[in-house]
Amino acid sequence: MRLQGKVALVTGASSGIGAAVAQRFAAEGAHVCVNYRPASDRDRQAAESAVAAYPTPGIAFQADVTRREDVDAMVAATVKAFGRLDIAVANAGIEIKRPFLEATDDEWARVIGVNLFGGYATAQAAARQMVAQGGGGRIVFMSSVHEDIPFPGYTSYCASKGGIRMLMRNIAIELAPHGITANDIAPGAIATPINQSVLDDPESMRNAVSEIPLGRFGRPDEVASVAVFLASDEAAYVTGSTYYVDGGLTQQVTMY
Ligand code: NAD
């Protein structure tokens, strides 16, 4: 049990990578706050039934990470339930495909709002709690290979993830005196709902897989393994780093 007695929150944890991270944290002995976004009964049900199946008590909490008051309430609810907060995973994310010349301000604001502001607000609210309680902490951002690699048609997404990379590197320095580490996980192509249109289209799948040296999409649990490591005591000396979980994609990318 690598996270025995730790208290964690994971944003956007009702599906995909976030759900796998929350589940693995609970299996490793952590109490987990499983965040899901408002306005979706399916997300609420998924979060609540996941928590009910964990071996360790957890909570499901509705919060929109683009809203500061929701993020603060999520941290407060976690602390109320379990007394402290040791680990925060800023995982919630969206993408909108649109050629740059056609992109709208609304689309830009939505993607930057969830991915970049959401990551900032989650990390800040969590770090404030960690500093107040003492004893250090772990902040993990679910970034993307697109924190570094361009992806035509997804400019707002790439800008948001590039922003997360610099946010992470900066706060790794600012929070180090408090014993709080900050790191990115940069997944490549992982089989989750965010990629449903590619997963459903055999030709898109062939093109995507042809870019991946390991020859397949990754699974959410393969990302969760790295999150467990970064959240654990074993990663005490790791901060300011990006961990790629991409089957080698970044080594030979031409871009699918
Ligand atoms: P997903 O769509 O299953 O997960 C995204 C989650 O974010 C969903 O549960 C969604 O409800 C939640 N969310 C969206 N807006 C929110 C908001 N305003 N407040 C709270 N939650 C909100 O897809 P995923 O692949 O599991 O994505 C998780 C993260 O991994 C994202 O940040 C994504 O950018 C990143 N990522 C995914 C891949 C991939 O190939 N799947 C690759 C690189 C990075």
Residue 252: predicted pLDDT:
81
The rounded Å distance from CA 93 to ligand 1 centre is 4
For the question of residue 157 being annotated catalytic, the response is: yes
Ligand 1 in contact with 18 (CB < 6 A)? yes
Residue 255: predicted pLDDT:
53
Ligand 1 in contact with 58 (CB < 6 A)? no
Total-model pTM: 0.98
- Parent domain of 153: 7-254
The rounded Å distance from CA 195 to ligand 1 centre is 10
Tokens 């925060």 correspond to what residue?
88
Residues 6+ apart with CB under 8 A from 239: 172, 176, 181, 182, 183
CATH of the domain at 184: 3.40.50.720
Catalytic residue among 154, 157, 243, 244: 157
Ligand 1 in contact with 70 (CB < 6 A)? no
Inter-residue contact 23 to 134 (CB < 8 Å): no
pLDDT by residue (tens digit) across 65-97?
999 999 999 999 999 999 999 999 999 999 999
* Nearest protein Cα to ligand 1, atom 41: 190
Atom of ligand 1 nearest to the CA of 190: 40
pLDDT by residue (tens digit) across 202-232?
999 999 999 999 999 999 999 999 999 999 9
> Would residue 66 count as lying in a domain?
yes
pLDDT by residue (tens digit) across 111-162?
999 999 999 999 999 999 999 999 999 999 999 999 999 999 999 999 999 9
Inter-residue contact 185 to 245 (CB < 8 Å): yes
> Would residue 65 count as lying in a domain?
yes
> Would residue 1 count as lying in a domain?
no
Ligand 1 in contact with 12 (CB < 6 A)? yes
> Would residue 142 count as lying in a domain?
yes
Q: How many CB atoms lie within 10 A of CB 134?
A: 10
d(CA 70, CA 76): 10
d(CA 39, CA 73): 17
> Would residue 179 count as lying in a domain?
yes
d(CA 76, CA 150): 37
> Would residue 35 count as lying in a domain?
yes
Ligand 1 in contact with 86 (CB < 6 A)? no
Rounded to 5°, angle at Cα 193 from 206 and 43: 170
3-state secondary structure of 119: helix
Q: What is the mean pLDDT of the chain?
A: 96
pLDDT by residue (tens digit) across 231-251?
999 999 999 999 999 999 999
The rounded Å distance from CA 237 to ligand 1 centre is 27
> Would residue 28 count as lying in a domain?
yes
Task: Give the tokens for residue 129.
Answer: 């709690």
Structurally, the chain folds into a number of domains equal to 1
Side-chain half-sphere CA neighbours of 74 within 13 A: 35
CA 253 to mean position of chain CA atoms: 23
> Would residue 208 count as lying in a domain?
yes
Dump strand ranges (E) for the chain.
7-10, 31-36, 59-62, 87-90, 137-142, 180-187, 242-245
